[in-house]
Amino acid sequence: MGEIDPAFIQETEYRPVFKTIEADEEIPLIDLSVSTPSDTKEVVSKIGEASKKWGFFQVINHGVPLELRQKIEKVAKEFFDQPMEEKRKVKRDELHPMGYHDGLNGYFKDQISFARFNHYPPCPAPHLALGVGRHKDGGALTILSQDDVGGLQIGRRSDGEWIPVKPIPDAFIINIGNCMQVWSNDLYWSAEHRVVVNSQRERLSIPFFFFPSHYVDIKPLDELINEQNPAKYKEFNWGKFFASRNRSDYKKRERENIQIDHFKASE
């Protein structure tokens, strides 16, 4: 195991504290298999509750074949096992600030959703570093596949306590992004999350970020606002918001990254 890249070392206040969490503090696990309309109603209600309380949940019986997922994980591992000069051919840049990339965008008309392959090598100092620092996802929704190593933690909505997301075989993790929080006028929660690293094992995760088209303006849905529940956000353009985030992620600016809170109606 080599030296730790100083870019991953966190300020003291952001370093992870490793502690045991009670079972009832885990994010909800939702079984998507339904056979009657009342099952569907129940699943919809569970998704709504989880999106309010946590902004995160895991799903099983989602219909994605396990073999497909295993194939993708195998190819990803083959990619990360290559020599550095091969990987550098798809090195990050200002348009793709978060790591090796390839242009999937051509496959999705008019919008910029994409998948990312995250590889976390074993780290000699997991108490000093984070694999991915705390952040909220900007888009509509993220679907994440993780292997069995673990490391993802989410900030609990009620008090910000970091709660680990337990790896569950063949489950996908779903989390609410910033756009969904604004559309729902703060009913659903876009939770902060981060990734702690492991001193012994490498980890692979594959998030798929669902983004709106770049020209979409984001604001609370008309159906959800009225005199008693006025809009909590001013309208903003998704493409500009995303571009601004990308630029500051890439340059690691000192200033705080753009956040939906900057569009709060009261500000």
Ligand X SMILES: O=C(O)CCC(=O)C(=O)O
DSSP 72-118: HHHHHHHHHTS-HHHHGGG---SSSTTSS----GGGSTT---EE--E
- Tell which one of 27, 76, 123, 152 touches ligand X (CB under 6 A): 152
Instruction: Check if 92 is active-site.
Output: no
Binding mask 169-198 for ligand X (x = CB under 6 A): ------------------------x-x---
Q: Is the distance from CB of 60 to CB of 167 less than 8 angstroms?
A: no
Measured at CB, which residue is nearest to ligand X? 205
| 101 contacts ligand X (rule: CB under 6 A) | no
Strand 193-195 and strand 152-155: the pairing is antiparallel
CB of 255 to ligand X, least distance (A): 20
Q: Which helix (H) or strand (E) holds 164?
A: strand 162-164
Binding mask 119-138 for ligand X (x = CB under 6 A): -------------x------
Task: Give the integer Cα–Cα distance in Å for 162 and 194.
Answer: 9
**CB-CB neighbours of 211 under 10 Å:** 22
Q: Which of 92, 203, 247, 253 is catalytic?
A: 203
| 118 contacts ligand X (rule: CB under 6 A) | yes
Q: Under rule CB under 6 A, how many of the chain's residues touch ligand X?
A: 10
Binding site for ligand X (CB under 6 A): 116, 118, 132, 144, 146, 152, 193, 195, 205, 207
What amino acid positions are annotated as catalytic residues?
203
